[in-house]
Amino acid sequence: FPRSHATAAPLPWHLSMQCSLLKWVVLQFLFLFYRPFVCSLFPQNNSIKTSKYNFFTFLPLNLFEQFQRIANAYFLFLLILQLIPQVSSLSWFTTVVPLVLVLAVSGVKDAIDDFRSTLCDYLKGTFSCRLKDDKWMNIQVGDIIKLENNNFVTADLLLLSSSEPHSLTYIETAELDGETNLKVKQALTVTAELGENLQKLTDFNGEVKCEAPNNKLDKFTGTLTLRGEKFALDNEKMLLRGCTIRNTEWCFGLVIYAGPDTKLMQNCGKTTFKRTSIDRLMNVLVLVIFAFLALMCFILAIGNGIWEHDKGYYFQVYLPWAVGVNSAAYSGFLMFWSYVIILNTVVPISLYVSVEIIRLGNSFYIDWDRKMYYPLNDTPAQARTTTLNEELGQIKYIFSDKTGTLTQNIMAFNKCSINGKSYGTNLSVNGEAHTEKVDFSYNRLADPKFVFYDHSLVEAVKLDDAATHGFFRLLSLCHTVMPEEKKEGNLVYQAQSPDEGALVTAARNFGFVFRARTPETITVVEMGETKVYELLAILDFNNVRKRMSVIVRSPEGDLTLYCKGADTIVYELLDSSCGSLKEETMEHLNEFAGEGLRTLVVAYKNLQEDYFQEWHKRHHEASTALDGREEKLSELYEEIEKDLMLLGATAIEDKLQDGVPQTIETLTKARIKIWVLTGDKQETAVNIGYSCNMLHDDMEDVFIIEGNTSEEVLDELRTARKKMNPDSFLDSDDIIKFENPSTKSRILPEEQANGVYGLVINGHSLAYALEGNLELELVRTACLCKVVICCRVTPLQKAQVVELVKKYKKAVTLAIGDGANDVSMIKTAHIGVGISGQEGMQAVLSSDFSFAQFRYLQRLLLVHGRWSYIRMCKFLRYFFYKNFAFTLVHFWYGFFSGFSAQVGQFLCSFRCVRAACTFVGETFTLATLGGSAGCPLEWRRYGAGYIPLLTQPPFSSFLPPVSVVGTVECGLAVLHLP
């Protein structure tokens, strides 16, 4: 078996990065039978290590890490203080016990987390896709890998050869950019001839120079030197990690980047430690408390100095000064540290642990929630990060992916309008709903999964209605779908876009089965009769044309142009003879669009033989022209695609997931702003926006930003903002400020629009808008809108958009997505949610929470988020109250005990009570639904504790109990007395 490996070990990327930035790595590859020992020197294998510790390093490393936390270090410092006898006011174990407890709990938690991520590594690495099967974590730079159909590409590969003609390889990039259509990659001719020949592959000896790992998914530059000749390498020859091989039996690839260097991983962004705002608040509070502690100790130390000077000096008859203490000032100095020990209870050391425990509990509740369990693929919700729960209740912005998150990514042919008659409404003529599915059994090639309810369409097909036949014939001919027929009659379509797939499938079920395709012919089974159409030209789709056409010659010899495209475009090209039909169809189109369906208009044109021949010749010339090919071609297309005859319109439903509109409505009511970031094209995104209730017709306006230059985008953004909030231009200081780079991190104030607006921004415009001085304009405009839809966005742009809002708005953001293209945004947002759906586990693995359906977001945010926040707040309030109540008594007592850092002995029982109440309080917090964290006994116990003090009693008045609680208190006091 061929094994590949580079003979010259490349330096680790990070080392070499310093040497040169580009084209710095030289890989020589040879194929050897056995992996030689030098392999072990390779730093770049394909595994991604996320675990931190091993068995031996755990204790020292973990302790080191833990003592880096301020609180832990502080208590270590306290412990040291207590070992100094003159300062020690409490016995040393009063600090050691909680400290050890805290360290142990955190340590165990770290160990479990680490163990978990070790498991993750293992699971990640168990794919196999090699000629000699191996775990894909063992793949190294320079290896040659054989991939088969539907294999997942696991490293960035240079395509060498494939089974298809011209060494084409089809890939699906859903994981990378969310697009589900197929893309084509082609190998170099020199490598293509290696074919499947293992011997040749083994002997292959070349050198690849490539750029340093980067995150540009659409760019690659490098050269291959083979037998002294140089070949340019570009992105067309690369198979990136995250793609899936489709329609290709096998292909060979050479690993260029592996593991963390792959473009996908580079796009994932840094894993940052996420903190909640409560964490930050807590840190501030703890610092304030430290300051407060220092102040208290200072006051008490001063007090001690004065006391020792005024009273203690004379009281020496009964209590001589300690050895070594010869002045009141020195005594005061020592007492400062003693009080630091005594009053340390005000610094909430256990707070961090308790907070962690509560969060863990809340996470379990998320895991256990049956209302977030999806039975169809047996997926419960999962809180993968246990530290962010309460932030869920604070979300202001949701950034959502579209494909697979809002939608199921299943297209269904739903309705159509043929020759002025609308089909597919669920209501029959007399108003009753059709519940019976159309029976397609007359067609043995029908797709059993296809569902249609309108029987009249089948009737029309069966009645040989010419327009209906023409309509479906068009659908079966005008597309770029690839058929796959592994078994006789078992057709599978590979569509570049799911819309096309849905249309061809519809035609198939109504009796126009697209069976096979060669570059020159299309085979269609029309109502059981096989016909071979000669494919003369494909006038392919692009974003400007927004239509595609085919020119075919039927077996009867008729020349026809079939065209389908966006209604606005195709309507311009229609022949004037179809005036009334145009109006009727337009009515239907509006109806379809109103329901959020994706519509296409279909039309045809019969061509004259001589005219076509002449055109065809010009077409051939244009397509081989060296310069201005694109323009020439589109001119030709324009020329022939006119005076079309309208056939009808189709309506496809991009099926939303269950409950998406309702969820979005509820979230909107909660004043959460939803931004959709999708790699899809604009029309699709806008359609989805309408169908899931984000955009609706009673919005004042939906702005579309699609400028192609920085100025255009700026202009469009300002126009939009002027309309929404004309006042925002009155104070022009904001614009001046943003041009000043020093004020970058300021938070923008909330602005109010004068109505409900939507904003749609295109990928290339977004690229301009995200640049330097435009980003502020973007944020201001976008945040005025209720709904923002960004289309044609790259994974990195998604992250940039999230980053932008994080930067300028004091808001908590949540990103939700399902594919690898969402990973960066999931990691960037304050909270990342992964939909564990069909598209692999990349998103879930980098997310903080995961579940199977978008609609569970509502429960996660509005129920669990709220509860977590309420519980945490109650707990914190209670905790601080408890600490202060306990500590301020000591402070107060200092004034009565000569500032001697004496703990009131009867107060010792407070410790027990406090410990008990802490425990009880936490249990309450976890256990009760509303989170009643208060310990009602607390007041009485503390109250009872204060009373004997306040009354300044002689010891005997301890005897009569004030209350039952008082007795307990006194009993504890007795036990504690020395």
Whole-Å CA distances, 929 to 369, 387, 772, 863: 13, 20, 48, 11
- Determine if 950 is a binding residue for another protein (CB under 8 A): yes
Among 323, 463, 466, 730, binds another protein (CB under 8 A): 323
7 is in an annotated binding site: no
- Determine if 365 is a binding residue for another protein (CB under 8 A): yes
Among 380, 420, 755, 840, binds another protein (CB under 8 A): 380
- Determine if 956 is a binding residue for another protein (CB under 8 A): yes
What's the token pair of residue 13? Answer: 């990327």
- Determine if 463 is a binding residue for another protein (CB under 8 A): no
The minimum distance between CB 366 and another protein, in angstroms, equals 10
541 is in an annotated binding site: yes
Q: Which residue type does 743 have? A: T
Phi, psi dihedrals of residue 195, rounded to the nearest 5° = 55, -135
- Determine if 251 is a binding residue for another protein (CB under 8 A): no
Q: What count of other Cβ atoms lies within 10 Å of the Cβ of residue 272?
A: 8
Taking the C-alpha atoms of residue 688 and residue 704, their distance in angstroms, rounded to an integer, is 15
The sheet with strand 547-553 has its strands ordered as 421-423, 407-418, 645-656, 598-606, 559-565, 547-553, 529-539, 521-526, 512-517
Decide whether 19 or 929 has the Cβ nearer to another protein.
Answer: 929
414 is in an annotated binding site: no
- Determine if 127 is a binding residue for another protein (CB under 8 A): no
Q: List residues bridging with 250 in a β-sheet.
A: 148
- Determine if 542 is a binding residue for another protein (CB under 8 A): no
Decide whether 323 or 429 has the Cβ nearer to another protein.
Answer: 323
The minimum distance between CB 315 and another protein, in angstroms, equals 4
Among 23, 311, 437, 877, binds another protein (CB under 8 A): 311
Fill in the per-residue mask, 797 to 816: x = in contact with another protein (CB under 8 A), - = not in contact. --------------------
Alpha helices in 829-935 (DSSP H): 842-845, 856-859, 866-894, 908-927
Q: Which residue type does 399 have? A: F
SS (H, E, C) 678-720: CCCCHHHHHHHHHHCCCCCCCCCEEEEECCCCHHHHHHHHHHH
Among 206, 253, 707, 898, binds another protein (CB under 8 A): 898
Residue 150 DSSP SS3: coil
Decide whether 460 or 901 has the Cβ nearer to another protein.
Answer: 901
Taking the C-alpha atoms of residue 899 and residue 894, their distance in angstroms, rounded to an integer, is 4
The sheet with strand 182-186 has its strands ordered as 182-186, 168-172, 244-246
Taking the C-alpha atoms of residue 830 and residue 912, their distance in angstroms, rounded to an integer, is 39
**CB burial class (10 A; 0-12, 13-18, 19+) of residue 256?**
buried
C-alpha distance across the termini of the chain, in Å: 82
Residue 116 DSSP SS3: helix
What's the token pair of residue 182? Answer: 């197929």
Among 8, 80, 319, 625, binds another protein (CB under 8 A): 319
818 is in an annotated binding site: yes
Decide whether 519 or 954 has the Cβ nearer to another protein.
Answer: 954
Taking the C-alpha atoms of residue 672 and residue 397, their distance in angstroms, rounded to an integer, is 6
DSSP secondary structure letter of residue 87: T
The minimum distance between CB 338 and another protein, in angstroms, equals 8
Among 156, 177, 369, 848, binds another protein (CB under 8 A): 369
Look at the alpha carbons of 764, 768, 771, 774 in this order and tell me if their dihedral is positive or negative.
negative
Q: Is-contact 563 648, C-beta < 8 A?
A: no
The minimum distance between CB 853 and another protein, in angstroms, equals 8
Q: What count of other Cβ atoms lies within 10 Å of the Cβ of residue 774?
A: 20
**CB burial class (10 A; 0-12, 13-18, 19+) of residue 507?**
buried
Q: List residues bridging with 225 in a β-sheet.
A: 207, 230
Decide whether 371 or 444 has the Cβ nearer to another protein.
Answer: 371
- Determine if 404 is a binding residue for another protein (CB under 8 A): no
Cα–Cα nearest to 774, from 702, 728, 712, 725: 712
The minimum distance between CB 543 and another protein, in angstroms, equals 35
Taking the C-alpha atoms of residue 53 and residue 56, their distance in angstroms, rounded to an integer, is 8
The minimum distance between CB 882 and another protein, in angstroms, equals 20
Q: Is-contact 765 706, C-beta < 8 A?
A: yes
What's the maximum distance between 2 C-alpha atoms anywhere in the chain?
Answer: 129
Q: Which residue type does 174 have? A: A
The minimum distance between CB 726 and another protein, in angstroms, equals 32
- Determine if 16 is a binding residue for another protein (CB under 8 A): no
- Determine if 904 is a binding residue for another protein (CB under 8 A): yes
Decide whether 110 or 665 has the Cβ nearer to another protein.
Answer: 665
809 is in an annotated binding site: no
Among 431, 489, 741, 954, binds another protein (CB under 8 A): 954
Q: Which of the following is catalytic: 143, 177, 369, 401?
A: 401
Of how many residues is the chain composed?
978
The minimum distance between CB 956 and another protein, in angstroms, equals 6
Q: Is-contact 918 350, C-beta < 8 A?
A: yes
CB neighbour list of residue 734: distance below 8 Å, 6 or more residues apart? 728, 776, 780
Fill in the per-residue mask, 652 to 691: x = in contact with another protein (CB under 8 A), - = not in contact. ------xx--xx-xx--x----------------------
Kindly state the number of chain residues that form the binding site for another protein, as judged by CB under 8 A.
Answer: 67
Among 376, 463, 466, 626, binds another protein (CB under 8 A): 376
Decide whether 87 or 537 has the Cβ nearer to another protein.
Answer: 87
- Determine if 905 is a binding residue for another protein (CB under 8 A): yes
The minimum distance between CB 954 and another protein, in angstroms, equals 4
Q: Which of residues 737-756 bind another protein (CB under 8 A)?
A: none
The minimum distance between CB 878 and another protein, in angstroms, equals 14
The minimum distance between CB 670 and another protein, in angstroms, equals 9
What's the token pair of residue 952? Answer: 């300044």
Interface segment toward another protein; rule CB under 8 A; list 274-282, 453-461, 595-603, 942-950: 942-950
- Determine if 113 is a binding residue for another protein (CB under 8 A): no
Interface segment toward another protein; rule CB under 8 A; list 121-129, 367-375, 638-646, 828-836: 367-375
Among 82, 338, 684, 824, binds another protein (CB under 8 A): 338
658 is catalytic: no
Among 57, 530, 577, 951, binds another protein (CB under 8 A): 951
The minimum distance between CB 674 and another protein, in angstroms, equals 16
Give the burial string for 935-954 (b: 16+ CB within 10 Å, else e).
Answer: beebeebbebbeebeeeeee
Interface segment toward another protein; rule CB under 8 A; list 51-59, 566-574, 674-682, 951-959: 951-959
Q: What count of other Cβ atoms lies within 10 Å of the Cβ of residue 534?
A: 14
Q: What count of other Cβ atoms lies within 10 Å of the Cβ of residue 14?
A: 9
Among 44, 82, 89, 386, binds another protein (CB under 8 A): 89
CB neighbour list of residue 436: distance below 8 Å, 6 or more residues apart? 453, 455
Among 205, 543, 752, 897, binds another protein (CB under 8 A): 897
Decide whether 273 or 318 has the Cβ nearer to another protein.
Answer: 318
- Determine if 337 is a binding residue for another protein (CB under 8 A): no
User: Annotated binding site for ATP: which residue ranges?
Assistant: 401-403, 500, 541, 564, 598, 678-680, 792, 798, 821-822
What is the set of active-site residues? 401
What residue numbers does the annotated binding site cover? 401-403, 500, 541, 564, 598, 678-680, 792, 798, 818, 821-822
Q: Which residues bind another protein (CB under 8 A)?
A: 89, 311-312, 314-315, 317-320, 322-323, 338, 365, 367-371, 373, 375-380, 658-659, 662-663, 665-666, 669, 853, 855, 858, 867, 896-898, 900-902, 904-906, 927-930, 932, 947, 949-960, 962, 974, 977-978
Binding residues for Mg(2+): 401, 403, 818, 822
